[in-house]
């Protein structure tokens, strides 16, 4: 047979002689790394964990006091915010229009009743006083003239009456003189009223002149100043505030649910944290109207004013009766950042940190709302030495005291 050769060109084969050494080197490195890793794996498998229970090494805690938490009877009270305010607060305003020419006091100054606080330009009122004085003087002179005329008319009438009795003059002449006498009397009375009117006008001008010297209506302290020298004072415009700090009181808004439970004269506790004072107050006034927006009503409480300042924040505690609660000492509470908790101790002496939610504060401790239960044991002294997960050292626990017996 004849072999037929296909026509066309045959593609030349690529040369691969240069790529073979690189592939061999890569394969060698891969096998070496696999062998190295396997040696470590089989070596690690030789170390096996023995079966059993692993012992936890706990930190020993000593010199702490542990107490058992027992519910106790405490006073139940309603707590609300209050503000210290002066019984008498005078808002001083201008009665006349004018420029403030001088300021006599500053904020914080103590003033007496009647003391001048500031002065207003008095030139126009001074002229009105001068005019009123001149009018009053003129009225007094007119009164003197009317008085003289009345005296003359009385004397003339008496003389003419005697002449009529002697039949010297006619009755008509006497009637004429009598009429003149009556006119003199009326004129005298009219001038008397004119003098009163002139005197009232002078008094009014002096009063308006006095309004240019603004005085304090009470003895107290200047707590606010709303105008400066050179400013224009207008009638009714506030100038400053003076508070009588000799008698202070608290004002607080309480829930409408207490409307039937409060009465005037009731004793309440007052705590002012900013100055570190605990006071006893007495409800002096109860406003019966309830605010429909906040559902609260206003009460006013009298307190001793020594050392207090108007505007201080206070906490008002209104007693409502007795209740059972868990109360622990403040020394037992440990704060870690924003967390609040206590160190609890179980029956094996192991210490754990428990988160708690605190309630109201009492003289002997803090109410605990959640986080611990009755008969739990907690560390009340030396809590700074305790650690979470630690264990009490044998014989180091201080004697216990039942919290429930505290009042």
Tens digit of pLDDT for each residue in 33-56?
555 554 544 444 444 545 555 566
Asked if 350 contacts 58 with a C-beta cutoff of 8 angstroms, the reply is yes
Give residue-wise pLDDT tens across range 95-105. 999 999 999 99
- Does 93 fall in a domain? no
Instruction: Answer yes or no: do 299 and 265 share one domain.
Output: yes
Model pLDDT, residue 245: 82
314 pLDDT higher than 90: yes
Instruction: Answer yes or no: do 132 and 201 share one domain.
Output: yes
Domain span at residue 157 reads: 122-211
- Does 40 fall in a domain? no
115 pLDDT higher than 90: yes
Percent of the chain with pLDDT over 70: 83
Examine the fold and report which residue of 262, 296, 322 is the final residue of a domain before the chain moves on: 322
Instruction: Answer yes or no: do 299 and 349 share one domain.
Output: no
- Does 275 fall in a domain? yes
Instruction: Answer yes or no: do 317 and 328 share one domain.
Output: no
3-state class (DSSP) for residue 278 = strand
Instruction: Answer yes or no: do 307 and 334 share one domain.
Output: no
Q: Highest mean pLDDT range out of 30-44, 47-61, 192-206?
A: 192-206
Instruction: Answer yes or no: do 253 and 333 share one domain.
Output: no
Q: 267: which DSSP letter?
A: E
In the structure, what pLDDT confidence band is assigned to residue 25 with cuts at 50, 70 and 90?
Answer: low
Instruction: Answer yes or no: do 333 and 307 share one domain.
Output: no
Instruction: Answer yes or no: do 126 and 206 share one domain.
Output: yes
- Does 10 fall in a domain? no
Model pLDDT, residue 52: 52
Q: How many domains does the chain have?
A: 3
- Does 312 fall in a domain? yes
Rounded (5°) CA angle 163-169-173 = 105
Examine the fold and report which residue of 322, 343, 362 is the final residue of a domain before the chain moves on: 322
Instruction: Answer yes or no: do 316 and 330 share one domain.
Output: no
For 185, 252, 376, the CA distances from 404, given in Å and listed in that order, are 97, 33, 12
Query: What is the distance between the terminal CA atoms of the chain, rounded to a whole angstrom?
Result: 127
Rounded (5°) CA angle 229-233-238 = 100
- Does 99 fall in a domain? no
**Largest Cα span, the chain:** 207
CATH number at residue 371: 2.40.420.20
In the structure, what pLDDT confidence band is assigned to residue 14 with cuts at 50, 70 and 90?
Answer: very low
- Does 189 fall in a domain? yes
Write phi, then psi, for 15 (nearest 5 degrees).
Answer: -80, 125
Q: What is the DSSP string of 95-125?
A: SS-EEEEEE---TT-EE-TT-EEEEE--HHH
Distance CA 391, CA 393 (A): 6
Bigger pLDDT: 306 or 162?
162
CATH number at residue 298: 2.40.30.170
Instruction: Answer yes or no: do 201 and 126 share one domain.
Output: yes
Instruction: Answer yes or no: do 312 and 249 share one domain.
Output: yes
- Does 346 fall in a domain? yes
Which of 127, 129, 139 shows the shortest CA–CA distance to 202? 129
Q: What mean pLDDT do residues 361-384 have?
A: 88
Examine the fold and report which residue of 322, 357, 375 is the final residue of a domain before the chain moves on: 322
The pLDDT mean for the chain works out to: 83
Instruction: Answer yes or no: do 205 and 132 share one domain.
Output: yes
Give residue-wise pLDDT tens across range 246-293. 888 999 999 998 988 899 999 998 999 888 888 899 999 999 899 999
204 pLDDT higher than 60: yes
Distance CA 257, CA 299 (A): 13
Q: What is the DSSP string of 145-173?
A: HHHHHHHHHHHHHHHHHHHHHTTSS-HHH
Model pLDDT, residue 16: 41
């Amino acid at each position: 047979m004849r072999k037929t050769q296909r026509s066309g060109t045959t593609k030349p084969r690529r040369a691969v002689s240069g790529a073979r050494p690189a592939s061999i080197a890569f394969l060698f490195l891969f096998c070496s790394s696999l062998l190295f890793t396997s040696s470590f794996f089989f070596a690690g498998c030789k170390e096996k964990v023995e079966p059993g229970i692993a012992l936890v090494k706990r930190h020993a805690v000593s010199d702490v006091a542990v107490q058992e938490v027992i519910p106790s009877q405490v006073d139940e009270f309603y707590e609300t915010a209050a503000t210290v305010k002066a019984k008498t607060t005078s808002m001083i305003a201008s009665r006349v229009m004018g420029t403030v020419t001088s300021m006599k006091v500053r904020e914080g100054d103590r003033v007496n009743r009647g003391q001048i606080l500031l002065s207003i330009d008095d030139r126009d009122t001074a002229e009105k006083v001068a005019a009123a004085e001149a009018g009053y003087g003129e009225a007094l002179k007119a009164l003197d003239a009317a008085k003289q005329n009345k005296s003359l008319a009385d004397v003339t009438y008496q003389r003419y009456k005697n002449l009529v009795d002697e039949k010297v003059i006619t009755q008509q002449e006497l009637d004429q003189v009598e009429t003149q006498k009556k006119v003199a009397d009326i004129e005298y009375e009219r001038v008397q009223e004119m003098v009163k009117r002139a005197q009232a006008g002078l008094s009014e001008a002096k009063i308006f002149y006095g309004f240019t010297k603004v005085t304090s209506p009470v003895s107290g302290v200047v707590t606010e100043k709303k105008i400066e020298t050179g400013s224009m004072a207008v009638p009714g415009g506030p100038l400053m505030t003076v508070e009588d700090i000799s008698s202070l009181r608290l004002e607080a808004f309480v829930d409408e649910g207490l409307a039937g439970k409060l009465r005037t004269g009731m004793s309440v506790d007052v705590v002012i944290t900013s100055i570190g004072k605990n006071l006893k107050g007495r409800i002096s006034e109860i406003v019966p109207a309830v605010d429909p927006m906040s559902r609260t009503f206003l009460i006013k409480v009298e307190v001793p004013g020594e050392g207090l300042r108007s505007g201080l924040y206070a906490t008002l505690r209104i007693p409502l009766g007795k209740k059972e609660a868990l109360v622990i000492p403040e020394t037992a509470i440990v704060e870690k950042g924003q967390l609040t908790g206590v160190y609890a101790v179980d029956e094996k002496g192991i210490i754990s940190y428990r988160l708690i939610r605190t309630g109201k504060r009492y003289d002997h401790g803090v109410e605990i709302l959640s986080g611990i239960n009755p008969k739990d044991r907690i560390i009340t002294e030396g809590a700074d030495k305790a650690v979470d997960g630690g264990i009490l050292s044998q014989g180091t626990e201080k004697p216990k005291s039942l919290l429930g017996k505290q009042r």
